[in-house]
Structures are given as C-alpha cells and as structure tokens.
Structure 1
Amino acid sequence: MDFFTAQDRARRLTGRLVVLLVLAVAALIGVASLALALAVVMLDGGTFAPAPLARAMEPRLLAGVATAVILVVGVGSLVRHFQLRAGGSVVAEALGGRPLDLETRDAQERRLLNVVEEMAIASGMPVPELYVLEDQAINAFAAGHDLDDVAIGVTRGAIEALDRDQLQGVIAHEFSHILHGDMRLNLRLVALLHGILVIGLIGRMLLRTSGSGRRLRGRRGGGHVAVLGLGAALMVVGYAGTLCGNLIKAAVSRQREFLADASAVQYTRNPEGIGGALKVLAAHRLGSRLLASHAPEFSHLFFGSGVRSLSRLTATHPPLQARIRRVLPRWDGSLPPAPAIPTAPPRHAAMHGMAGLSSGAAAGQARADAALAEERLADEVVASVGRPSAEDLERARRRLGEIDEGLIAAAHEPYAARALVYGILMGVDPESREAQREALVGQALPEVLVELEGLEPSLSRLTPGQRLPLLELTLPALRRLSVAQSSRFQACLRRLMSLEARPGALQWALHRLVLQGIQGERRARRDRHLADLSGPLSLLLSTLARAGQDDDVEARGAVERLSAVLAVPLDFVREPAQATDLDWAMARLVRLVQAQRAPLLAAMSCCVTHDGRIEPEEAELLSAVAWTLGCPLPSMERESGQPAGGTA
C-alpha cells in the first residue's frame, strides 16, 4: 500500500468511526432509558407497576434522555478534540513523559535519539519530539495530527531492555503509524470516544457525592436516593460506553498493528529487529502494561497493549505470539528463532495517471530515452513517499556520520541550533551575506552570534546534501524555544530571506521548511484539483524546472510536456519567482486533494531530473518542497554517474 492510498484509507476509516460512534450513542440512549425506568421504579418503592413504567417511557422524557446523552457525548468529544489540537506532546505529557534532553550524556538515551533521527531523515520527515516515560514496562507510541506535531514516547524499560536493532524495529513500527495516517486516526478516535467516557465519569462523581453527602440525607432522604440512583444509572451507562469504546478501538487497531510490524521489517530489512523486540516484550516480567492513569484512554496508540484486557474482543492489539509469527514465520517459541526471509518494499508504479509521461513529447530517439529515464525516476520517487527502505536508512546513517560532530552537537542546543540555521540559510553571494550579517547583529541575540562565529569554519566545509539533514536535526530544539525567543528567531529568518540578492529555489524551500517545522502545518481544507490551480502550478513547476535544467529552453520544454500530461494549461514563468510569490503558490497547492498529490509530486520530480539523475541539491529541493506538501520523501539522491532506477 503506497503512502497516498494509506492516507486515503485512514480518512475513510475516520468516516466509519463516526458511524460506529453514532451506533454506540444509540446503544447508550437505550441503556440510559432502561436505567431511567429502573430509577423511577426505585423511587416509587420498588414496585414494577404500570404507572411508573409508563412515566419512564413517556416520549418527552425519552427525548430528554436522548438529548442529554447526545449533548454530553458531543461536548465531551469537542473538549477533548481542542485539548489534543496541540499534537502529540499533549499525549506524551498526559502519560507522564518528559522531553528527552537533546544534549543527554546517557548512552542509552543517546542511542535512542540517534535511532529516531536516522529514521526521520531516511523517511524525509521532520525529526519528531522525543519523550521518555519513566516506566519499566516495554512500550512506545507515536501521536500527532500532522508530520510537524508528532511526538514519539518510549518507556525506560524499552530503552534499557532492547538492543539497537530491536529498538530500531520498535521505532520503525511507530514511523509506520505516522506514515500510514494511523496516528491522526488514533487521536480522532480518542476525541470521539472521550464523550462516551464522560458519562461514566459523571456517574462516578455523583456516587462519591452521595456517599459523603450527609447534608442531602439530612434534608431529604429521597433526594439522596435520587442522586444515588442517578449516579448508579450513569455508571451503568458509562460502563456500557466504555465497552462500546473498547470494541471500536479493537476493531480499528488490531489489523493496523500487523501492518505496522510488517512495515518495520520493510523499512529496516531486519525481521530480527521487530521480532526480537516482541519476544523480549513477551518474556518481560512487567510486559507492556503502563502505570499512567491515562493509559486506558490511549491504549490503541501503544506498541504493546499497555493495559490489561478482559476479553479478546476488546483487546486493541493481537496476541504477541501471533505478531511474532507474522514477522518470524519459523519461530518455534524458543530462543533464538530461525531467521526469516525479509521482504523488501515493492517499488511499483504509484503515478495515478502519470504513466506514459513522455508519450507524444519525443522528437527523436535520444529525447525519447531521456523522457523514459525521467518517467522511470519520477515513478520511483512517487512510490517511495512514506516508504523508507533499508537503503534509505543506511544512507541517512552514513550521511550523519560524514557531518562534523560539532555541527551535530550544535543542532541539539537551543542557542547553537539558531546559529546553525542562520549559517546554513545565509546566501552564498558575498554582498548578501554581509548585509545579512549586519541585520543579525542588530536583531539576533548576542549569544547566538557568538555561536555562529564559532560554527563558521565547520559550516564552510558543508557539502551539498548535508544541509537538509542538519536543519531537520535542529527542529526539536527550536520547537522548545519560548514564545519570545521563537518570535525573534522567525523575524530574523524572514529578514535574512528579504536581504537575499539572488534567492534560489533551494534557499526558499529550506527557509519555508524551517518555519513550517516550528509553526506546524496550517491545516487547510483539501478541496482543490489540479485543474483549479493552473497559476500556482505554473509558478512552482517553472521554478523547479529552472533549477533542474541547464537553460530556459529546456525548462520551458519540461513545463510544456507536463502541461499536456496533467491536462492543465501551464504557462512557463520566465522571470525567477520571489519568495513571497512561491509562498502564495504553496498556500494554494496545500489545498490539493490527496488523490492528486501523487501526479503533482511526479511532475515536480520530472522538473528537476532532465538528465535522469537527481543531484544532491536537487534532492534537497525536491524533499523540502514535498515536505511542505505533507509528502515525506526519502532521499532519492543518486551517486555521481549512477543511472536512474539504481540504488545509492
């Protein structure tokens, strides 16, 4: 299943969740009506006479019950939805997690940080916020709405009990949930089900009040009985709601856990990693059960079940033995298991209508061959979205190893991270850099300027392909800035861009990537089609074509070919676009429906691959723009001279 199909499937599942919620609310209304009838009977002396039952079944009263249940569920769900809008960090903190110190000297925490950073860079997505849960159980989770507000939490037990390969398997499992749209679905499920749980919480509160409410008993015994009966009724409704909620969570979660396990094998090409982690979990004395009070609410987010389930019907995770056998088919229950043959992610065509990109455009055999190479590489780019491979992971590890250790350390420290971003995003033109430096002296913090001066020798040795990973590494530290610090930092970035004498497409894309990585994605309704976006498409594709072609004639030819294939009238924009113009174009393109993002990404890749290769700077540009469109793109960079379709 490719990235775009997975995202659409997750959105369709959200619709099914609403249907299941409506059915659950209907069931709760029935239970509440029955509980009300019993309460009326109790208040009338416990006699099941026709009169009390008739009063309980009165249409107005039933309508009132239905309205009250719907109101409580609706308000409870909305309140929880707004509480969770900040993203995965809210979940991590609710579970007692603490942000991992990015400069930690703890070897095990450092290993975890390295594994997460490698997986993020291999996936082409922002480095997520990382939290540690001081719990000795083995567990982990990923939560968030979008790629920019993801948080990953890992328990202390997992950090200590798992080796690097096993930990990498767990992290790959969580990245699968991120890339398949599961985490957004899971948070919506939390919000929808919270309203059902609120009914039980109200009943519990009323029972506590009645248990200590001597004033009520003193005034009128019947009042106390009424409160007690109402509380008991609401508790019954609440337990029924909890059962419904657990059944819904189980129906949604179980198969997606199998898919995430399989994806972890595909991402790492190491079934012993995720399989070994599951075996350690199965043998662990504390298992995966978390002590946090909110664990039941978020149980469907966890790597392991996290809570004890009374029935397989309500279990949010498949049995561990079944999961182990899915990734290690030859496992016989003993250690070590016989190795299984890893499965690699299929690189099939996912162009959604982009096949035949070169048809009608070949003027000769050489041109046809070049167009075929572009098509093949564009097909590979689209198929790789949200599907990092073992080669991508190894490339990310190698690239991080080639970067100066001082720059890696700077990316994890708030002052140095800001200086690092300034140094990377300042223009290469001497006149521009001088004006930008003067602007920073008047606007940036002195401590940051000192850090920038110290980093300059290392920054001067950066090679193409190293800038994007470094910027990705800085994002967790930059998100932790105070409001005032973040505001000053963003103002400095905008000032740097405004002083750029010759702003290139890559410089603009990296600026935009950092700002979006801090601010988060501005959620927009996805209701536009390619045919509605001729102007923004012309501007973006012309800019990318100019960055990927040798001259304007070739760039114009690329845009004209894409105009025919996309069936959208495109005009080649001859003059280089300003940053504000490109921001305008992107603000409209983010409204593109999910189904048409694959053709757009294919068109973008064709613009920068006129020679059948993706050079390091072209890879950075393509990844940065794809990121802002919500399409995490693993690096498709080719080594010098390597033909398209190969593996770096």
Structure 2
Amino acid sequence: MDFFEAQDHARRLTGRLVGLLLLAVVALIAVASVVVTLALVLLDGQPGGDSPARALDPRLLGGVAVAVILVVVVGSLGRHLQLRAGGAVVAEALGGRPLNLETRDDNERRLLNVVEEMAIASGMPVPSVYLLEDPAINAFAAGHDPHDAAIGVTRGAIETLDRDELQGVIAHEFSHILHGDMRLNLRLVALLHGILVIGLIGHMLLRGAALGGRRRSRRGNGRVAVLGLGAALMVVGYAGTLCGRLIKAAVSRQREFLADASAVQYTRNPDGIGGALKKLAAHSAGSRLAAANAEEFSHLYFGRGVRAMSRLTSTHPPLEQRIRRILPHWDGSLPAPTSRPVTPPGSASTPEAPTGTALAGAALAGAVVASVGRPDAGDLARARQRLAELDVRLIEAAHEPFAARALVYGILMGADPESRERQRLALTSQALPEVLVELDRLAEPLARLAPGHRLPLIELALPVLRQLSAAQFAGFRACLDRLMAIETRPGARQWALHRLAVQGIEGERRARRDRHLADLGGPLSRLLSTLAMAGLANEAEARDAVEQAAATLGIDLDFVPEPPPAADLDWAMERLVRLVQAERASLLAAMTRCVEHDGRIEPEEAELLCAVAWTLGCPLPDPGRLASRPGPRHDGGHRQ
C-alpha cells in the first residue's frame, strides 16, 4: 500500500468507524430516551396507572431523544475543540514536557537526533518532541496532520533502549503520522468522550440523589426515580463506551501491525524494533503509564500503556505476536534487564547511503511517487550524513528561538548582493535587535551552505519556531513577507522555502479536497511552468517539459515563460491543495517530469520539488537518490 492509498484507506476507515459508532449511539439514545422518559413520568408523581403509556408518548420520547443527542454531540464537539491544537495537547495531558532543544543530556540529545533524522529522511516536518518522566517503555505520536504532530517518549524508553531500538520505535511512530492514523485516533477520542458523557451524567445524578437523601426526607418516588435514572444512564453510558472501545481496539491492533512492518521497511533493521519490543516485554515497569487519563489515549501508544479488561478491549496485539511477526526465528528468550550503553549522539549502525541509481523520464517520476511516505535505510543514512555536514553553529541556531529566526531570514534572503543589502536594511527596522545580532553571527556559515542544505535547516528550526507567541510570530511573518517583497529576483526555490516555513509554523489549512486535475488547468500551468523554468535555462526545453507533464496528466496546459510573482504561485497552490487525494500521485509525477527533464535532479531541484510536495501534503524523501549524480549544467551555473 503506497502513501496515497494509505491516506485514502485511513479516510475510509474513519468513515466506517464513525458509522459503527453512530449505530451504537443510536441504540444507546433509544435506550436512554426510554429510561429518561420513564424517570420523568415517575418524577411527575401524577396518580394513575397509565404511566407506561405516558412514558411512550412520541412527543416526550422525541424531546428526550433530542436532548440525549445534544449531550453526545456537545460532549464530542467540546473534546474535539480541546484537541484542536494538535499533538501538543495530548502530550501535555499525559504529563509530557517539551524537550529542551539545547539539552546537554546524552539520552535526550540522542532522542532529538533520531527524530530529526527520521523527519528529514521522510521529507516531513520535524515534529515537536515531548518527554514523559515515566519509567515505562512507551511512546506515541499525536496530532491532526504532520504540521501539528508531536512525538512523546518516556524516560524509561530513552534510558533503556539503544540507538537502533529507539530508532525502530520512532520509525513506528512516524508510520502512524505518514499513514494518517493520528487524525483517526483523535477523532476516536472525541467520539468516545461524547458517549462517555452520558455515563458521567448518570454518575452525577446517582451521587446527587444519594447525598440528597441524607439531607432531606423522601418525597414519594422522586428520589427512587432519580437513583434509577442515574444508575440506568451510567449503565447505558458505560455500555456505549465499552462498545466504542471494542471497535477502537479492533482497528488499533491492525494499525499496530502495520506500523511495526513500516518501521522495518523504513530502517531495514528488524533487530531495532524487534529488540525494543523484547526489552519492553522484559522491562520491570512494562509499558503502563502513570498518567491519570492514560486510558483515554490508549490506542496512541507504542506499547499497551494501560491494563485491558480482556484481549477484546486491548488496543495492542500481544507482544509475542508482534515480535514473531518481525523476528520469525525468535526463540522466545528475553534480554536481562541491564543498563543501556550510551551511544554517542549521531552514531548508528545503519549502513552508508547508497549512491543514486540513474533513472529517466516516466521511470524516475514513478519511482519518486512510490517513495512518498516510504523512507528507507538509505534515506536515513543520507539524512544523518547531511546533518553531519552542516556547520554545528547552524544546527545550534535552529534550536534557539532568536537564532532560529535569524537562520530562516538568512536562508531566504536573495543570492545577489544588492538584494541582500536591501533586505538587511529592511530587517534593521523590523526585526528584533537580538535576532539581528544572530543574523550577523551566522553570515559566514550561511555563505558556505552547500546546495540542498537549506530545506533541512528550516525543518530543524520549525519546532522552536512553533513555540513563538502570537505576537512574536506576527513579527516574524511580517519580516518574511518583507524579504520576499523587496527581493530583486525571487526564485522558485526561495518562494517554496518561504511558503514551507510559514505553513510549517501555522499548520496546514484544511481545505476540502473536492477538485480534480481537469478543474485546475490554470494553477497547474503556472506551477509546472515555474518548476520547468527553475531547472532549465532553455525556454524551448522548459516548454517541452510542460508538454510532457500535460501528457502525463492527460489535460491541456499552457506554458507560462515569465517569472511569476510569489502572489501568483500562492494563488496556484491555494487551489491545488484542494485536489482530491486519488489524483495527487499524478500531480507529483508531472512535477517530477518538469524538474528532471534534462535527465537528472540536482540538489537545488530536489530541494524545490520536496518543498512544493511538502506543502501539498506529500512528504517526499530526497528524489536526488533516484537520479544520476549531478554533472555540469547546460547553462554553466545555478538557477533558483
């Protein structure tokens, strides 16, 4: 199953789950309505033997049913709004704290390195990282999409697992991000909370009636009716929650098997995640989390996290099954609980990155599409190598709030001296003095930045930039827009990185995906022409590239040779993000055909393609690995 199929599958699965839960809710509403109506009739206290008949009055039943529906809807909607901010809300609810990006703790530093490598290798934003001070071995990924994702890891995991095992766990969590499981999981949390509210109301009624009975005399059947109503609502609510948990558990177990398999695919190292699972099985604290509300998020965890009443309600398969699927020849032995040797940050046993394999035309486009959301061990090795090649001052800057802003400014400033001088002057009047000091300090390492290294640095800076306050981000955004506005010759790559930086902080604008390629001829013509001209100095070749892309898409496109303003490209992207998921693979193939028309994808072109794919929600590993090594260009120089 490729990335696009997995995303569609997650959406279909969400629909089916919602349907099943709605059926359960309808049944519960029917039962709850009858129970509440009977209680109201008893509370009314009117004499007569027609109480059952009055309880079945359609108008009364209908009114009660509407009230029960409102309770479920309001409960679900309220929880959804609480979780709207993304994975950070879940991490903090479980007692996690944002990991200090400048930490000097070896275990914490190693965790950050592994997460950053995995993000760069998979071509997606670096998620926020949270540490749970819990001795258990566990982890989770939470959020609505990759832009607001958070990964939480326990202290027990980072102190017990070696680097390969920790990388297997993180690869497992990245699979949940890439396959769309996170949004499904949060929707389940909201839906189940709405059902649970019925039981909570019953609990409050039962408690209130019990306390009230001690303070005042009984009044007819009133207290008995309230007690019965409370008890019935508790039974109904918790029965509904049990039904929801059974559905949640059945789906979650299959998603865990998929994530385990994906972790092996990403790392090509079954001993990594297999070893982590074996250590989890042998660990004295297991995977059980101490957080008070751990049960609510049980389907998010790497390990079970909570005690299940039975296998039917367990959100995770038995550890033995998971281990045997990864390590078929496992003899059943478990490691003795021992302290983990500290692995130096940045080191690992993953093999060196293989060299690129020359592909061309449709074959290369197909290979690029197939790689979306499917990083491999070579991508991890390349990401590690790329991070090792970066100046340490730039990496440290990406982890500090003032320096991270300066880093992004420096990356997005124009290539020619005239533009940079004007932009530096503009920043003097808009940017904070502390940021300007950092910009000057980073000028020398930024000037020596190798091709293809700008995108990873922006990705590294995103977690700390997401922590900016609303006022700080407004100032940062104003400076970025000013840099683009006064750029003498803004290039496609500069525009794409600018858009990526803004979207990576603001998050994805969730638009309805209801448009087809045939409806988007204008935006497609603008974007594909820009990609073709960015890599080809010869207009005739660029025109031919767009024509081949149009043939790939099966629609007519116009070639636009003029360099577009950033506003035009933003206009095109705002329409293209509404493209249906099923046709995004075709769009990515057409984009690749435009970029590689001259037979290779150079580092700058790969960076452009990845940045545009990134903002379209298609995390793309480095496509340069699929093309031949760069050679001398036709135009004798570099184009943006």
| Structure-1-length-normalised TM-score | 0.90
Q: Which runs of 5+ in 2 are unaligned?
A: 337-350, 352-357, 632-640
Cα separation, partners in 2 of 1:553 and 1:238, compared to 1, 3 Å: same
Q: CA deviation at 1:564?
A: 2.7
Q: Is the 8 A contact 1:216 1:223 kept in 2?
A: no
- 2:483 corresponds in structure 1 to 496
Q: CA deviation at 1:251?
A: 2.2
SS in 2 for 1:131: strand
SS in 2 for 1:313: coil
Q: Is the 8 A contact 2:399 2:461 kept in 1?
A: yes
Identity across aligned pairs (percent)?
76
Q: What amino acid sits opposite 1:562 in the alignment?
A: A
Q: CA deviation at 1:582?
A: 0.3
Residue-pair matches, total: 609
- 1:112 corresponds in structure 2 to 111
Structure 1 stretch displaced more, 537-546 or 275-284: 275-284
- Alignment pair present for 1:621 and 2:584: no
Cα separation, partners in 2 of 1:640 and 1:4, compared to 1, 3 Å: closer
Structure 1 stretch displaced more, 392-401 or 85-94: 85-94
C-alpha distance in 2 between matches for 1:618 and 1:250: 44
- For the aligned residue pairs, the C-alpha RMSD in angstroms reads 2.3
Q: CA deviation at 1:63?
A: 2.9
- 1:248 corresponds in structure 2 to 247
Q: Is the 8 A contact 1:25 1:69 kept in 2?
A: no
C-alpha distance in 2 between matches for 1:643 and 1:616: 8
SS in 1 for 2:296: coil
- 1:636 corresponds in structure 2 to 623
- 1:76 corresponds in structure 2 to 75
Q: Is the 8 A contact 2:279 2:334 kept in 1?
A: no
1:33-91 alpha-carbon deviations (Å, 9 max, x no partner): 5645885898799xxx9854444444444334432322211111111122221111111
2:451 maps to which of 451, 455, 464: 464
- Alignment pair present for 1:430 and 2:417: yes
In the TM superposition, 1:229-268 aligns within 5 A as 229-268=228-267
Q: Is the 8 A contact 2:298 2:315 kept in 1?
A: yes
1:304-323 alpha-carbon deviations (Å, 9 max, x no partner): 11111111111111111111
Cα separation, partners in 2 of 1:642 and 1:50, compared to 1, 3 Å: farther
- Alignment pair present for 1:24 and 2:24: yes
Q: Which runs of 5+ in 1 are unaligned?
A: 338-343, 345-369
Q: What amino acid sits opposite 2:261 in the alignment?
A: A
C-alpha distance in 2 between matches for 1:333 and 1:42: 61
Q: CA deviation at 1:215?
A: 7.8
- 1:270 corresponds in structure 2 to 269
Q: What amino acid sits opposite 1:158 in the alignment?
A: A
In the TM superposition, 1:102-141 aligns within 5 A as 102-141=101-140
C-alpha distance in 1 between matches for 2:552 and 2:386: 36
C-alpha distance in 1 between matches for 2:50 and 2:283: 59
- Alignment pair present for 1:599 and 2:566: no
Structure 1 stretch displaced more, 303-312 or 223-232: 223-232
Q: CA deviation at 1:593?
A: 0.4
C-alpha distance in 1 between matches for 2:20 and 2:559: 49
Q: CA deviation at 1:17?
A: 1.5
- 1:208 corresponds in structure 2 to 207
Q: Is the 8 A contact 1:37 1:56 kept in 2?
A: yes
Cα separation, partners in 2 of 1:398 and 1:68, compared to 1, 3 Å: same
Q: Is the 8 A contact 1:613 1:638 kept in 2?
A: no
Structure 1 stretch displaced more, 563-572 or 5-14: 563-572
Q: Is the 8 A contact 1:40 1:53 kept in 2?
A: no
2:541 maps to which of 554, 563, 570: 554
2:499 maps to which of 501, 512, 536: 512
Q: Is the 8 A contact 2:282 2:335 kept in 1?
A: no
Q: Is the 8 A contact 2:37 2:61 kept in 1?
A: no
- Alignment pair present for 1:15 and 2:2: no
Q: CA deviation at 1:565?
A: 3.0
C-alpha distance in 2 between matches for 1:27 and 1:282: 39
Q: Is the 8 A contact 2:397 2:407 kept in 1?
A: yes
1:383 maps to which of 363, 370, 374: 370
Structure 1 stretch displaced more, 607-616 or 441-450: 607-616
Q: What amino acid sits opposite 2:7 in the alignment?
A: Q
C-alpha distance in 1 between matches for 2:92 and 2:319: 27
Q: CA deviation at 1:216?
A: 6.2
Structure 1 stretch displaced more, 437-446 or 564-573: 564-573
C-alpha distance in 2 between matches for 1:12 and 1:27: 23
SS in 2 for 1:314: coil
SS in 2 for 1:132: strand
| Structure-2-length-normalised TM-score | 0.91
C-alpha distance in 1 between matches for 2:628 and 2:573: 33
- Alignment pair present for 1:565 and 2:564: no
- 1:291 corresponds in structure 2 to 290
Q: Is the 8 A contact 1:377 1:612 kept in 2?
A: no
Q: Is the 8 A contact 1:623 1:635 kept in 2?
A: yes
Structure 1 stretch displaced more, 74-83 or 484-493: 74-83
1:489-548 alpha-carbon deviations (Å, 9 max, x no partner): 110000001111001100100000000011111110111001100000000000000112
Q: CA deviation at 1:135?
A: 1.4
C-alpha distance in 1 between matches for 2:10 and 2:513: 15
C-alpha distance in 2 between matches for 1:42 and 1:331: 64
Q: Is the 8 A contact 1:37 1:53 kept in 2?
A: no
Q: Is the 8 A contact 2:529 2:560 kept in 1?
A: yes
